[in-house]
Amino acid sequence: MKQIASDRSSKTLKATDSRNLQKQGRQRFLKAGVAALFYCLGLCCAPVPAAHANATVNGLSGTMIVPGLDVLPPGGARAAVHMIGETEFNEATFKGVFAFSDDSEVAIVKRFAIRGKAEQTEPMFAAKYKVRPNMAVAAVLDPNEGYQDSVMLLTGMPGNRVVLGLGTNIAMNPDEKKASFGRYSQKSAEVDPVFFIMGASLNLDIDTKLTIDYSGNDFVLGLRHAFDEALSLDFGLYTPSKIYDRHRFIVGANFGF
């Protein structure tokens, strides 16, 4: 009888130890999850290091292709060039961005063909007005044949950590079927009249940012490294879309004045 009682007691102790180990394992897992959550929140909510806004591929300052909430410092200016292509670059954009006050900026953008048929294009004009720290309005006026104008309302988190935008494309005649922003249902289709855009940036270190952009048709993953206030380099990858069925690359540079 004593042997039976001893065996039962041993089994009870083993079961209790097993439950305790499982409980400790769950607690460690919970603590690790909470720590990871706070780490992610810290990345998103930590103060953004002071930095000059940079020109996007489409002109106005922002992430890589989407206009941001911030504007250049009053009296500030940026010049930028971006080259885009698949295995080799076939198009480029040159732009200048100027700020005349602490809540507005304007941009002039010129598109060029590097390879293939050279098309003469007219300069595009863009403007952005910062209504409040977390809200801005922007417009892109494209006088080139076949292109519509775009206007949009932007909101999100200051510092371009998160930018969300809702806009509309405006056609002046039936032949205008393309735009800088907006979704296409297929390659030959007209751009949607209403579009949603998104941009985000994550500070990898004090000089380097990871950017994520969605312009309605294009999705771009980018990297921006600032050497100083006067020079930063851009690298980006376009994923395949309804218009382009292959990956494309962006290489560019921003110059401050």
pLDDT digits (tens, 9 = 90+) for 171-200: 999 899 999 999 999 888 999 999 999 999
155 and 116 together in one domain: yes
Closest by CA position to 180, among listed 102, 95, 245, 115:
95
Same-domain check for residues 160 and 250: yes
Domain range for 12: 1-46
Residues 235 and 149 in one domain: yes
For residue 199, tell me if it sits in a domain: yes
Residue 257 binned pLDDT confidence (cut-offs 50, 70, 90): confident
CB-based contacts of 162, cutoff 8 Å, min separation 6: 156, 199, 200
Residue 188 included in any domain: yes
Query: Is the pLDDT confidence value at 1 over 70?
Result: no
In a domain, 64, yes or no: no
Does the pLDDT of residue 161 top 70, yes or no? yes
Closest CA to 165 of 178, 177, 181: 181
Nearest CA to 62 out of 145, 161, 193 is that of: 161
User: Looking at the structure, do residues 42 and 89 belong to the same domain, yes or no?
Assistant: no
Give the pLDDT confidence score for residue 192 in this predicted structure. Answer: 95
Report d(CA 89, CA 175) in Å as an integer: 28
13-70 confidence digits (pLDDT tens): 455 555 554 555 555 544 444 344 334 444 444 444 444 689 999 989 999 999 999 9
Q: Model confidence over 67-125: pLDDT tens digits?
A: 999 999 999 999 999 999 988 888 899 999 999 899 999 999 999 888 765 567 899 99
Asked if 37 and 96 sit in the same domain, the reply is no
One domain for residues 84 and 40: no
pLDDT of residue 242: 87
Looking at the structure, tell me whether residues 119 and 184 fall in a common domain.
yes
Of the candidates 124, 132, 177, 182, the residue with the CA atom closest to the CA atom of residue 152: 182
The CATH number covering residue 246 comes to 2.40.160.40
Structure tokens at 55: 């020109």
Q: Say yes or no: 115 and 234 in one domain.
A: yes
pTM value? 0.77
Asked whether residue 176 is domain-assigned, the answer is yes
Is the same domain home to 83 and 170? yes
Looking at the fold, whether 128 and 37 belong to one and the same domain comes out as: no
Task: Please say if the pLDDT value at position 240 is more than 60.
Answer: yes
Q: What is the DSSP letter of 161?
A: T
Is 205 part of a structural domain of the chain? yes
What tokens were used for 89?
């670059």
Is residue 72 one of the residues assigned to a domain? Answer: no
pLDDT for residue 159:
82
Question: What pLDDT was estimated at residue 28?
Answer: 55
Which residues lie closer than 8 Å to 66 by C-beta, 6 or more apart? Answer: 56, 58, 163, 165, 197, 198, 199, 213, 214, 215
Domain count, the chain: 2
- Same domain, yes or no, for 20 and 85? no
- The reply to whether 10 and 90 lie within a common domain is no
**pLDDT score recorded for residue 188:** 84
Is 55 within the bounds of a domain? Answer: no
